[in-house]
Amino acid sequence: MAQPIDVTKFEQLKAAGDLPSPKGVALAIIRLVQQEDSSIGELARVIKTDPAFVGRLIKAANGLTGYNRRAVASVQEALMVLGVPTVRTLALGFSLLSSYRDGRCRNFDYGRYWTGCLVYALAMQAITQRTRAAAAEETFCLGLLARIGELALATLYPLEYAKVLQQTLEYRDIPLSVLEQRAFAMDHRELCSAMLADWGLPRVFHQPAFFAEQPDESGYAEGSREFVIAHSLHLSSFIAEIFVAEEAERPILVSRLFEIASRLSLDPIAVTEMCDGIVREWQGWGSLLELETAEIPPFAELASRGEAIAASLAAEARERTGGVQSVDDLRPAKAAESPQPGLGGSAALGLPVGVQPMRVLIVDDDASMRALVRKVLETVGHQVLEAGDGRVGMEMALEFQPQLMIVDWVMPEISGLELTRALRQTKIGRGIYILVMTGLEDDDRLIEAFENGVDDFMSKPINPRVLAARLRAGQRVIRLQQELDRDREEIRRFAAELAVSNRRLQEVALTDSLTGFPNRRYAIERVQQEWSVSSRTRRPLSCMVIDVDQFKSYNDAHGHDVGDAVLKQVAGAIKGALRAQDIVARTGGDEFLVICPDTGLDAALACAERVRFAVESAPLPLSGESLNMSVSIGVATRDTVMGDPDALIKRADQALYLAKNKGRNRIMTAQSLRPGPVLPPR
């Protein structure tokens, strides 16, 4: 059974500081919520400092109040409807949306990603209102963040992830997660689950998120809360795929939609009504969040068109060989990417060979002066924009991101110096080369200019030849800065490759090569982690020690090759019988340790019996005969007398000894089954 990313790996990524993270007001909200003495009033005051978040928060609350209730109109009402934990997670999600609308990963479609995440969130909310598996406002947040692992990889490794996304077009039969594992020794599912856990989402959310793409691999009991959430995520993801698909693809996808929805006992009529409602919500939210949406016809119409297409395909298949054989063949091929047309090289622009044109912004309230400077700049091939005052100049600088700005010192409202100071306080503005035009050359004023972040100055009236010389000097500085940025990017890429290599080496160091299970070293680290979680959350923790009965006899009678085959067979049976949250490791020659978080003694004993029966029921085929195997299992749960994880494992070892003495092929515990305190009182 697949396991989410190891905590140690995630902490290494987190320590690098490049993972997507909340900013601004969202960060203030999260920190305030973490304080035990914070009040609703304080939280409301912080929220009101961000008008955009206020609007989104009230809309989210009104989406849950129903049509027969008075609409929510204030932050305090929204907090009462949604609850503080949900508001915290909403702040996180909307902060990430605002801060990561674009990025450096060339093949990652940021707009499509975020509008798909919005559909995902609305679909989770709508499905949960029918299944009642969780609070709808909480699953809205879960849906909004359920694909965060993809954004994280695009942010951590922009160049490498662009190559992985390109490979998905070349190797359409290979899942994205497999290509990610090859490139980074982890995939977006693992990273998503770890990030959701780190942000404080409960286990019942972040573990199903790992299995959202393949919920049947989770091992969750049908009908359980985790089962419903995992399948709801899978259905929501598919609905999002339909929404962002090309118009011609949607009818084909809808037929598959009903099959997925049936796992949640949702009939086609209910699904079509639900999806039509999601379309309306999507378009309303899209306008609020400035995300691109589309007009989608009623889902009943899409379903009807899909049936007609399927019938036509079936008729063609009967009449002739070749041609369209499956629904997938109807999907239009993605257009191959072609390089954008270039500018013909710097020499064609009148620039010296090897010198690239720059993006330049002129900020001056004198139109004739802007025209003069613009002419000089365009003569040598630079790309030029103009702003008539400092306020517009600030907005254009942050949007256009010029490499060089030519700014007049004296302007109405915002002077050139004030504009420079404001820009130097932003991440984008710190990298811009700023040249100030002034009619005064007083030493004190020039010193003031340089101290406020100006890179160079030029006296009025402007001499075109002097301006061209100043531009060349500025361009040398910009070129050096670009070379430095490239060096930093090269170092960052090397560090990223080294981190991937280190993770692969760590996996080898923590993995048993025969069974593929984690080894003893991993088991000791992980039981320490789960012990700490149990101490913090006051939740139960159990473990099993499993020993293969009479293992030495297999080696003596049949040789070590057969002994290895026995261990592989037993490992496969154990893995198939465990639950999604259980962690299994091979700790010795024929000994296994299973860690069972959030599990009391009764549940652990029931799980151990499933493991024992699975091994007993899976004989090893050997030269025309079957080799029967069995295991003895000792089970223990954390109690008040245990001071550390070693005591828990020792108690399970004692129980294993009892099982061996009782005749093997059985489970035992050395503890009472009577209920009692799991942990000492606070």
DSSP per residue, 303-333: HHHHHHHHHHHHHHHHH-SSS--SGGGGSPP
pLDDT at 37: 65
- Examine residue 332 and state whether it is found in any structural domain, yes or no: no
Judge whether 608 lies within some domain. Answer: yes
pLDDT in tens, 40-97: 777 888 888 877 788 888 888 887 654 445 677 788 788 877 877 788 888 888 888 8
Q: Which of 436, 467, 483 is the last residue of a domain?
A: 483
Check residue 64 and give its pLDDT. 63
**Helices (H), ranges, 132-213:** 136-145, 148-156, 158-170, 176-184, 188-198, 203-210
Check whether residue 357 and residue 429 sit in a common domain: yes
Q: What's the angle, vertex CA 454, arms to CA 450 and CA 460, rounded to 5?
A: 95
Q: Do 380 and 467 share a domain, yes or no?
A: yes
Which is more confidently placed, 328 or 181?
Answer: 181
Cα atoms in the 13 Å half-sphere on the side-chain side of 426: 13
Instruction: Answer whether residue 342 shows pLDDT above 70.
Output: no
Same domain? For 475 and 608 the reply is no
Is 282 in the same domain as 186?
yes
User: Is residue 619 located within the same domain as residue 478?
Assistant: no
Q: In terms of Cα–Cα distance, which of 373, 542, 387 is closest to 458?
A: 373
pLDDT band at 9 (very low <50, low <70, confident <90, very high): low
What's the CATH code of the domain at 416?
A: 3.40.50.2300
Residue 509's Cβ-count burial label (10 Å; 0-12, 13-18, 19+) is exposed
Q: Are 359 and 403 in contact (CB under 8 A)?
A: yes
Does 130 share its domain with 267?
A: yes
Same domain, 562 and 651: yes
Task: Provide the CA 194 distance to its chain's centre, in angstroms.
Answer: 9
- Does residue 249 lie within any of the structural domains? yes
Question: What is the pLDDT at residue 410?
Answer: 86
How far is residue 548's CA from residue 407's CA, in Å, rounded to a whole number? 79
Q: Which residue has the higher pLDDT, 326 or 33?
A: 33
> Which residue, 454, 483, 512, sits at the end of a domain?
483
- For residue 371, pLDDT over 50 is answered with yes
Query: Is 149 inside any structural domain?
Result: yes
Same domain, 477 and 546: no
Q: Which amino acid is at 284?
A: G
Hey, CA dihedral for 478, 482, 483, 484, is it positive or negative?
Answer: positive
Q: Would you place residue 531 in the very low, low, confident or very high pLDDT band (cuts 50, 70, 90)? A: very high
Does residue 345 sit within a domain? no
Q: Which residues pair with residue 584 across a beta bridge?
A: 594
SS3 labels along 331-397: CCCCCCCCCCCCCCCHHHHCCCCCCCCCEEEEECCCHHHHHHHHHHHHHCCCEEEEECCHHHHHHHH
pLDDT in tens, 602-649: 999 999 999 999 999 999 988 778 899 999 999 999 998 899 999 999
Residue 36, pLDDT above cutoff 70:
no
Give the pLDDT confidence score for residue 537 in this predicted structure: 82
> pLDDT category, 673, cuts 50, 70, 90?
low
- Token pair recorded at residue 467: 């301006």
Phi, psi of 212 (to 5 degrees): -60, -35
pLDDT, position 319: 66
Q: What is the pLDDT of residue 16?
A: 65
Of 456, 483, 510, the residue that ends a domain is 483
Higher pLDDT, 483 or 140: 140
Backbone angles phi, psi at 210, to 5 degrees: -65, -30
Judge residue 106's burial from the number of C-beta atoms within 10 Å of its C-beta, 0-12 exposed, 13-18 middle, 19 or more buried: middle
| Count of structural domains within the chain | 3
Residue whose entry in the numeric block shows the structure tokens 């340790």: 593
What is the percentage of the chain residues whose pLDDT exceeds 70? 88
Torsions phi, psi for 346 (to 5 deg): -65, -30
Residues 121 and 264 in one domain: yes
* Per-residue pLDDT tens digits for 146-180: 999 999 999 989 999 999 999 888 887 788 988 99
Average pLDDT across the chain, whole number: 82
CA 667 to mean position of chain CA atoms: 40
Among 206, 227, 59, smallest CA distance to 131 is for: 227
Kindly tell me if the per-residue pLDDT of 505 is higher than 80.
Answer: no
SS3 per-residue string spanning 215-259:
HHHCCCCCCCHHHHHHHHHHHHHHHHHHHHCCCCCHHHHHHHHHH
Residue 142 has pLDDT above 80, yes or no: yes
In a domain, 336, yes or no: no
Which has the closest alpha carbon to 275: 307, 306, 241, 309? 241
Does some domain include residue 470?
A: yes
Instruction: Please report, rounded to a whole number, the percentage of residues in the chain having pLDDT higher than 90.
Output: 29
Query: Which two three-digit tokens encode residue 604?
Result: 């652990």
Higher pLDDT, 165 or 579: 165
Answer yes or no: is 338 within a domain: no
| Per-residue pLDDT band at 276 (split at 50, 70, 90) | very high
Closest CA to 302 of 252, 235, 241: 252
For the cut 60, the answer to whether the pLDDT of residue 511 exceeds it is yes
- State residue 387 phi and psi, 5-degree precision: -135, 140
Do residues 546 and 642 share a domain?
yes
Same domain, 363 and 410: yes
Domain carrying residue 12: 7-20+100-305
Q: Are residues 605 and 479 in the same domain?
A: no
